Structure 1
Amino acid sequence: MIFALRLGLALALLPLPAVAQRSDALAVERAALTMRQGAHRWSDDPTLPGPVSIVVSVPMQMAFVYRGDVLIGATTVSTGKPGKTTPIGEYAILQKRPFHRSNLYNNAPMPFMQRLTWDGVALHAGNLPGFPASHGCIRIPTAFARALFAATALGGQVAVVNDVIAFPAYRPADPVPRLEAEVAMLAGRDDRVSSGGRRGEPR
C-alpha cells in the first residue's frame, strides 16, 4: 500500500509529457514482443526532442524507430535473401522519393523509398512474405513506410545489425556522420536501387 502510494506520487510529480512518452514507448515495446509478420506499431510525437533514427535487426526481421531516445515505432521487415543479403552497417538516408519504379523487372513499384547506399540498398514499402526475400533492400509495410517517410530527414541515421535486440530497445550510441544527399534519378534492379552512368540510364 505504501509502495503504491509512493509510486503514484512519483508519477504525479513527473511532467505529463514524460509520463505519456514512457507509456507510448512501452506500448510499442509490448507490441513488438508479440508482433506477427506484416504487423507494425507507430506512436510518434513530433514534439519530442532529438532526431529520428532507425535500427534494423536482420535475425529478428524487425525494425525499430526512435525519436531521440524514445521508441516510437516497430515493424516486421523483409531484408535481402541469401546471395543478396542486406549489408550490415550504419548508414545515413541519402535520398527520399515518395514513389519510385524500378526501370527493370516490370517497373516494380518502390513506394516511400529512402536510399541508404549509392550501390543499391533502400528502405521502401513492399511485400513481406515472412522471411528475407528482397534483392538487398529493406521492405516494410506500406502504412508504416508512409509514416516513417514523413518522420525522417535526409542524413537520418539507420543501423542494420546482425543482433537480436533485447528490451529496453537497443539503439546505436554514436550518430552516423551527416552526408550530403543528392537528388538524382534512380535506376535499379527489381527492388534494389542504384545509380550510375548517365542520368536517366540504367546502371
Structure 2
Amino acid sequence: MRHGVRTGLTVGVALTALLATGCSGSDGDAEAKPAYDTKTKTQRIGTAGSVCALPVTFDLPADWKSDNVSAEVQQLTTVGLAEMSCELDARHGGTTGFIRVFTDQSRSSTPRFALERFVSESKLQKRKNVEYRDTKAGPYEAVEVSYEGHNETWGAQQKETHLAFKSPKGLLVFDIDALDPIDHDALLPELDRIKDTLKGV
C-alpha cells in the first residue's frame, strides 16, 4: 500500500538557472514559484463534517476524490503507531496514484521516528538513496524522506516519499503511493501544495 527520490539539479541545469536569474546584485533573489499550478481549481480537504475530517486542512485539485478508511483497512495498513485515516485519489485528475494520510495519536512519536518506521517497514527491497530533509508543513516544522527500492510483486523499481509533522492534535504522515516513478514524480508538486496551504483546525 505504501510505498522516492527527488532528482537533484545537475550542474548544467543549476548553471542555467543561475544565468537566468542574472548577477546584477539586486536586493534579493527572485521569489521562487511553486511547482504546482496555482490556477488549478481546488477543494479544501480535512474540514469538519467532510469525508476525511482531520486535525489539519489543506488544498488539493477539485477533481481528486477523498475517502475515509474502514477499521479493517486500518488494521492492515498501520505503520508503527500511525493509522491510515484518509485516502486521496489522484486518478480522476489523470495521475495513477494516491496520497494517503496517517495519524498517530501517541505522545511519544516524533516526525523523524515515524518516518524511520515507514522506511524500515516498507515492502520495497534493496532500498537505497534514503534522504531525510527538514521542511515546513503550513505552520509546523516537518520532516520529509524519499527513497527508492525494488517492488518484487510488480518486478519494477519504485519511488517513495513521506512527509511527517506534529500538530497540536497529533502527528500526521502523508504518503505518496504510486507504482510508476513517473506518476510518483507527478504527485510531488501536489505534496508541495499541501505543505503550502496546510492549516491547523
Between Structure 1 and Structure 2, the one with more helix by share is: 2
Larger RCO: 1 or 2 (CA < 8 Å, sep 6+): 2
Between Structure 1 and Structure 2, the one with more strand by share is: 2
Give the TM-score of the pair, scaled to structure 2. Answer: 0.23
